[in-house]
Chain A
Amino acid sequence: MSLAAGSGSGTGWVQAIFVLLSLVALASALLVVTTAHMVHAALWLVVTLGSVAGIYLVLAAEFVAWVQVLIYVGAVVVLLLFALMLTRAPTGRQDDLNLRRVVPAALVAALVGALLTVTVVAGFHDVRIDLNGAVVGSAETTGTTVFTMWVLPFEVLSVLLLAALVGAIALSRLRTDGDG
């Protein structure tokens, strides 16, 4: 990916691509939380996660972008769609998907967004990312750093993933006709 490593004249293109991907991500994320079709929410989530993967590519994190596409778009959204199917979610339009607390929820979300936005813009408004000549986090670079610098967290994480899978299997095999 030479997208992020372009020379000086490519900086404008990189910024334009970043802004476009950001707008797509934000618009589809808004649709995820507001649409009245449950399956459409999962499909808009695909658009959001895909454009976030594009943003990772722009920010020179190539391996993270492909992992995002594989794990999130490939696995997590399929899991969510399976959950919608197994819980017999209606496919048509539903007007009662939201609680009656739309105004307080929007108020809290707006306050969270305003607080975070003001904080980061005030803290980092004069810092720039120099993407020219940045080391792209390819599979080779990421593999080298994971297996030299971050081996212990990696192994701990694999044990955590195993525990989560065993827990998920144990939960789904639980007998529900007993008293438990």
Chain B
Amino acid sequence: MPLWWPLLLASLLFAIGVYGVLVRRNAVLVLMGVELMLNAVNINFVAFDAQLRDRFHGGQTFALFVIVIAAAEIGLALAIVLLVFRTHGHIEVDDLRELADRDPEDAR
């Protein structure tokens, strides 16, 4: 199998994840885009592991580590999302502007 097949798949999945992160307005759907990007990176790791025949399986081990970090990230992020829902009543990322840096004269 040519190496660029899995790499092409990973690139397209990453681009789809970028689109999801940029276009969705619900925070949970934004997190789904982040998960797609992390999976694309994992495909790269596993593909290069298979190509390099690494004796220590560095690619597969790193893919496992990325999965663990993604699990930690999703746990923390969903806790934050629920907290935002409790305090604001919605989780639409476009309307959460407390930390925005804006001029005093065009403050809403």
Contacts and interface: CB of A to CB of B under 8 A. Distances in A.
Interface of A: 4, 11, 14-15, 18-19, 22, 25-26, 29-30, 32-33, 38, 41-42, 45, 48-49, 52, 55-56, 59-61, 63-64, 67-68, 71-72, 75-76, 79-80, 82-84, 86-87, 89, 96-99, 101-102, 104-106, 108-110, 112-113, 116-117, 120-121, 124-125, 127-129, 131, 134-135, 137, 141-142, 145-146, 149-150, 153-154, 157, 160-161, 164-165, 167-169, 171-172, 174, 176
B79 A55 contact: no
A45 B35 CA distance: 9
A55 B9 contact: yes
B29 A97 contact: yes
A64 B28 contact: no
12 contacts: A25-B13, A33-B16, A52-B43, A59-B50, A80-B74, A104-B22, A116-B15, A124-B7, A127-B2, A131-B1, A134-B53, A150-B56
Given A45-B32, A129-B47, 16 more contacts: A26-B16, A32-B33, A33-B29, A48-B39, A64-B67, A76-B35, A79-B74, A83-B81, A87-B91, A89-B28, A98-B23, A109-B19, A129-B51, A131-B50, A141-B57, A176-B83
B59 to A, nearest CB: 8
| Most central of A26, A29, A75 by chain B CB within 10 Å | A29
Contact of B4 (A33, A75, A124): A124
Contact of B46 (A38, A64, A109): A64
B13 to A, nearest CB: 6
Contact of B31 (A80, A110, A174): A80
Contact of B81 (A4, A61, A87, A134): A87
A154 B65 CA distance: 8
B75 A79 contact: yes
B28 A83 contact: yes
Interface in B66-82: 67-76, 78-82
B23 to A, nearest CB: 4
A89 B33 CA distance: 18
Contacts of B16: 26, 29-30, 32-33, 109, 113
Interface string B5-49: 111111111111111101111101101110110010011001101
Contacts of A128: 1-3, 51
